[in-house]
Amino acid sequence: MVKPASPGIGYVILCHTLNNTIGFFRRGPLLNAGELSANMPPRRKPLPNPLPEGYTLTDTEKKQWKLGKIIGRGGFGLIYLASRRLDAPVPGDSDFVIKVEYHENGPLFSELKFYQRAAKPESIERWKKSRGLNFLGIPCYFGFGLAEFQGTRYRFMVMDRLGTDLQKFCVENGGG
């Protein structure tokens, strides 16, 4: 719900949830619908066209990865099961996943920069050992690359498969 704060000055946006109301105030002149939409963030890009199951990706270190079935869809792209074995189908209990987005998108690129700096297996092991931990709740990073399929460029990142996703876990356990 949008309410004028005072004539010509700004507006207040009220968001109602079960437990509370959150208000936002914008200073400045009131905007008409056209001006308001011009100030909105850009819409999300569409999810990439799926790559075929069994397709082989080669990362920047020349390691090859075979795509399995799609196990997730996010705001940026698709998540596939993956395997280093190219001569067999990717098993449903694979230890690896590959996140894929269109090359022009940005979210995976930003995430990738974090994983390259902080989540290489040797870095995670060193950090866990220095703090006496036997588990750290972030996946290890194993590689990334660019690929082209049917004239479309993709960016991908290979990482540990940790299990079910958080949203699914919450829903299955009575949360939302």
Specify which of 58-72, 106-120, 161-175 reaches the highest per-range mean pLDDT.
58-72
10 vs 143, which has greater pLDDT? 143
Model confidence over 73-120: pLDDT tens digits? 877 789 999 999 999 999 999 999 999 988 877 777 778 888 888 888
Whole-number mean pLDDT of the chain?
78
- Is 99 labelled a binding residue? yes
**Predicted structure pTM score:** 0.66
Q: What are phi and psi of 124, to 5 degrees?
A: -65, -45
Closest CA relative to residue 10, chosen from 33, 32, 28, 35: 28
Structure confidence at residue 128 as a pLDDT band (50, 70, 90): very high
pLDDT given at position 71: 94
- In single-letter form, the type of residue at position 119 comes to A
CA distance 74 to 76: 5
Burial class of residue 52 (count of CB atoms within 10 Å of its CB; 0-12, 13-18, 19+): exposed
* Mean pLDDT confidence for 39-50: 65
